[in-house]
Amino acid sequence: MIRSRVLAAALLLSLLALLASPPAHALPLPPQGGGGGGGGATQPQRAPITLAQTQPQPAQPAQTPSTPRPVCPPRGNPTLTFDLVDPEPRVLSPVPAATLRREAGGHDDGPFPHHLGLTVSRVEWRTDITARSRGTSRGPVCAVPAEVRLRLLHAEHTIRLAKEVPAGGCLAREVLAHERRHAELNRRTLRDAAAELRIALRAWANSVEMFAPDVATAAQLMQEDLSRALEPALARLRAAREEGHAAIDTAEEYRRLGRVCPTDQRRLRAALRVQ
């Protein structure tokens, strides 16, 4: 299961020291993970991947025909900082299989009602932009980025097994290995996205200039424009994860996990009260 949230931090406009309130972005991805024996492995969820955004109303940088367009400040070479934070996934204490099923959005009447493992990933990105602007005190202004920092982080990345899986046994190792495949996919696709985001950030910072009635509007417009520039890489991240997790959670893999470790399978069935 992948739950990801995308956050944008504040833009700092150097001339007026303006702090613009950032929009919040959610990057939900479909539940993934599972595997195991007993009543069967986790049925992969095929929820659509969407990006829900709470955006401020687009600013209208309207200018009257009589208002001269300001001259933009010298662009120079914007200072860019990119941070990727991707710690090892944490293995949490086991919880009942029914709890994992609820967290993954599974159903009691599905073909694989027992969730024996769950991997959760939450990815966030945050930006800080310091911009130079030029214009009259009453506007309009032109703003260009002077410094941009982008931080991409795995804010949450956890693996959890069902309590009914015999601890420390053969089946626990098999289910954990299955979940680690999901975790490794999460990390690999995050690294791929980071490489794309670096390129997109550089191209954006070297080209953007924002005309607006005032500095506050310029901050809002610049923030929205950066979000649009980064979105294609984020969309490819979501698509790569959906495809990769589906390739892990196959019916063949579930059948295999339902056959391995027969002694633990009997103990699991007894714990789950499965005939």
Contact in structure between 153 and 86 (CB atoms under 8 Å)? yes
Please indicate, yes or no, if residue 53 is contained in any of the structural domains.
no
Q: Which of 161, 110, 120, 122 is nearest to 245 (CA)?
A: 120
Asked if residue 163 belongs to a domain, the reply is yes
Question: Given 3-state DSSP classes, what are the helix, strand and coil percentages for the chain, each rounded to the nearest 5?
Answer: 35, 25, 40
Tell me the backbone φ, ψ of residue 59, rounded to 5 degrees: -70, 150
**CB neighbour class for 243 (10 Å; exposed up to 12, middle 13-18, buried from 19):** exposed
CB atoms within 10 A of CB 253: 17
Does residue 139 sit within a domain? yes
Tell me the sheet residues that pair with 19: 12
Q: What is the pLDDT of residue 66?
A: 58
Q: How many CB atoms lie within 10 A of CB 230?
A: 23
State the total domains in the chain.
1
Q: Is residue 64 part of a domain?
A: no
The pLDDT value recorded for residue 11 is: 28
Residue 249 sits in which domain range? 3-45+72-272
Q: What is the largest CA-CA distance in the chain?
A: 84
pTM of the model: 0.73
Residue 207: inside a domain: yes
Q: Render each residue's pLDDT in the chain as its tens digit; 275 residues.
A: 333 333 332 223 222 222 222 222 222 223 333 333 333 333 332 222 222 233 344 545 445 455 678 889 888 899 999 999 999 999 999 999 989 988 887 666 555 567 899 999 999 999 999 889 998 877 799 999 999 999 999 999 999 999 999 999 999 999 999 999 999 999 999 999 999 999 999 999 999 999 999 888 898 899 899 999 999 999 999 999 999 999 999 989 988 998 999 999 999 999 988 75
- 16 belongs to a structural domain: yes
CB distance 146 to 130 below 8 Å:
yes
Q: Please check whether residue 223 lies inside any domain of the structure.
A: yes
Q: Would 58 be classed as within a structural domain?
A: no
